[in-house]
């Protein structure tokens, strides 16, 4: 039953380790820093912590170029630090999810060093090597997601290797059973250390077209778009064979009790839901990023929810994400007032919500001076606004000069308002967005209708989206005003009365006049119906 499954009823909180808490003054967050800040997560009320990569890495892509899958980079600490963190996470009744980056390694990984040593290397086929095209040049037209071609020539062996991202991130060949076996052993290594699940990076990339056919040209491409949009990634991603690979990972997790497999997938809904797998043998939670890219309009969001609810296979469990380390923060996309409405949306829709660190503070855009840019994508394709640094800035804990994040120089700048937009000050302000998040989480815990109940669409008109959550005899109505003017919302037929459980507004309550709710501008409300 959903109410007995932690990853269905719970709330996931993503931490970008470089930016959560520095414990040694080098300006970069670490595992010990995360351990020291677990009280914040317990106070907030989340159920699981998801850590972005902390593995040994040259940091060409800040840890997504893994040089050793079974270790901890010294920047972040040691395996001993990791084990202590696992123990304290579990000691607080929380779960721990870690990133798994199986599509590519660092070019400094021992596997790749051996693979590129010669064409006869036993690990040559662990990566994707191709001869030049007839007459010379690239094997095909596949682009890198970070700009430029997806192929780099290795002069020593006379072949190209494929990299969907940076040239320092060569793609593994998942058609090779030795690669699959080695990566399954990586999963077991961390499962035995007590992790409760994995978020699998770019899971839809793992298999490529066996014939390496060119991707079709994108007729909608424009010059102000990134290179990756020049073609449609029909042959370089989302291949039918990927589902067998994911099912294999799922079987490894099922060797252990009560674990979760989450897949990062940026695909349209009709393709996304196939990653639940045949007979639900795929990812438990194929990440649903649709809210990140959807226009922030009531009717569009309502249509999205209805489409998603209808597309999930029987027995599949939904999930929702508002932001992560790759996407602009929600307060940037919708503004401060609507960020509060977004919080209510995220924490009251049916399915597992994933929060991103700092969103509970309403952190907005941080301007990164050119000389402080860290993101390789921004460096490769400057001027297109692709940089991910603004959503990776340090967590803001208090009003001290570096917001309590570090005693050194932060690796990225803080927001200009960090003196007031921080945990210490906002905890003391009952009207803050931080306390709104906490109250929403508490409300979700108290009401099974919100955590595991059914979803019933109720109303989508103008600037208002309203829906019911039901469990047993309990009926709750969530009404969200996406506009900046007051809106009237009809209550469902047959409702004798309604009681306000929570409003996103800092003071007062919305008025209920007979069968109509009067929402104030930029207000979300949860009502108990009777």
Q: Which residues are known to be catalytic? A: 201, 255
Contact 32, 81 (CB under 8 A): yes
Non-local (6+) Cβ contacts of 210 within 8 A are 175
Question: Which residues, other chains included, contact 431 with Cβ-Cβ below 8 Å and sequence gap of 6+?
Answer: 506, 507
Angle at 451 between CA 448 and CA 452, to 5 degrees: 75
Q: Name the residue among 85, 61, 60 with its Cα closest to residue 72.
A: 85
For residues 30 and 223, give the distance between their C-alpha atoms in angstroms, rounded to a whole number.
39
What is the 3-state secondary structure of 144-211? CCCCCECEEEECCCCEEEECCCCCCCCEECCCCHHHHHHHHHHHHHHHHCCCCEEEECCHHHCCCCCC
Length of the chain counted residue by residue:
530
Rounded to whole angstroms, the Cα distance separating 515 from 513 reads 6
Dig out the tokens for 393 from the structure. 């800035």
Spacing of C-alpha 470 from chain mean position:
27
Residue 324 CB contacts under 8 Å (≥ 6 apart), including other chains: 14, 289, 292, 354, 356, 391
Distance CA 477, CA 499 (A): 10
Residues pairing with 217 in the sheet: 231
Q: Are the beta carbons of 97 and 138 closer than 8 angstroms? A: no
- Pairing type for strands 159-162 and 197-200 reads unpaired
Q: Give yes or no for a contact between 163 and 144, defined as CB atoms under 8 angstroms apart.
A: yes
Please check whether residue 45 is in contact with residue 428, taking contact to mean a CB–CB distance below 8 angstroms.
no
Burial class (CB in 10 A: 0-12, 13-18, 19+), 327: middle
Q: Are the C-beta atoms of 447 and 476 separated by less than 8 Å?
A: yes
- Residue 139, judged by CB atoms within 10 A of its CB (0-12, 13-18, 19+), counts as buried
Element (H, E) at 439: helix 433-446
**H or E stretch at 527:** strand 524-529
> Dihedral (C-alpha) 79, 80, 85, 91: value to the nearest 10 degrees?
130
**What's the rounded Cα separation, in Å, for the pair 451 and 498?**
20
Q: 135: phi > 0 → left, psi -120 to 50 → alpha, else beta; which? A: left
């Amino acid at each position: 039953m959903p109410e007995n499954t932690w990853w269905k009823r719970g709330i996931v909180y993503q931490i970008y380790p470089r930016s959560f808490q520095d414990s040694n003054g080098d300006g970069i967050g670490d595992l010990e820093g995360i351990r020291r800040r677990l009280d914040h997560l317990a106070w907030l009320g989340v159920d699981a912590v998801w850590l972005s990569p902390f593995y040994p890495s040259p940091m060409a892509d800040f840890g997504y170029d893994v040089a050793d899958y079974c270790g901890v980079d010294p920047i972040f600490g040691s395996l001993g630090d990791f084990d202590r963190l696992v123990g304290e996470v579990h000691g607080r009744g929380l779960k721990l999810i870690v990133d798994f980056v199986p599509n590519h390694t660092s070019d400094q990984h021992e596997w790749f060093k051996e693979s590129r040593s010669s064409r006869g290397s036993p690990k040559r086929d662990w990566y994707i090597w191709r001869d030049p095209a007839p007459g010379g040049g690239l094997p095909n037209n596949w682009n890198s997601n970070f700009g430029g071609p997806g192929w780099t020539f290795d002069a020593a062996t006379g072949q190209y290797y494929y990299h969907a991202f940076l040239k320092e991130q060569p793609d593994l060949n998942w058609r090779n059973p030795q690669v699959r076996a080695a990566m399954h052993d990586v999963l077991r290594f961390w499962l035995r250390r007590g992790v409760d699940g994995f978020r699998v990076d770019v899971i839809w990339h793992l298999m490529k077209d066996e014939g390496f056919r060119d991707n079709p040209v994108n007729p909608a491409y424009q010059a102000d778009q990134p290179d990756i949009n020049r073609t449609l990634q029909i042959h370089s991603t989302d291949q039918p064979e990927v589902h067998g690979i994911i099912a294999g990972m799922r079987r490894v997790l099922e060797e252990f009790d009560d674990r979760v497999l989450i897949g990062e997938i940026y695909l349209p809904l009709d393709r996304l839901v196939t990653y639940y797998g045949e007979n639900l043998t795929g990812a438990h939670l194929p990440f649903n990023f649709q809210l990140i890219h959807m226009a922030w309009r009531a009717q569009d969001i309502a249509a999205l929810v209805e489409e998603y609810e209808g597309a999930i296979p029987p027995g599949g469990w939904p999930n929702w994400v508002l932001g992560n380390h790759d996407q602009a923060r929600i307060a940037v996309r919708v503004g401060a007032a609507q960020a509060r409405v977004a919080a209510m949306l995220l924490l009251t829709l049916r399915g597992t919500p994933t929060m991103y660190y700092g969103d509970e503070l309403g952190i907005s855009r941080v301007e990164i001076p050119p000389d402080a840019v860290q993101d390789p994508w921004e460096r490769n394709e400057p001027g297109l606004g692709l940089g991910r640094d603004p959503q990776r800035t340090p967590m803001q804990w208090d009003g001290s000069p570096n917001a309590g994040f570090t005693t050194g120089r932060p690796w990225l700048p803080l927001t200009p308002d960090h003196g007031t937009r921080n945990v210490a000050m906002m905890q003391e302000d009952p009207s803050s967005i931080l306390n709104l998040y906490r109250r929403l989480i508490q409300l979700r815990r108290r009401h099974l209708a919100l955590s595991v109940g059914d979803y019933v669409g109720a109303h989508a008109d103008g600037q208002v989206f309203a829906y019911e959550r039901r469990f047993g005899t309990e009926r709750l109505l969530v009404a969200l005003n996406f506009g900046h003017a007051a809106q009237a919302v009809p209550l469902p037929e047959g409702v004798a009365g309604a009681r306000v459980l929570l409003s996103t507004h800092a003071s007062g309550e919305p008025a209920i006049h007979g069968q109509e709710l009067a929402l104030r501008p930029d207000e979300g409300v949860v009502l108990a119906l009777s």
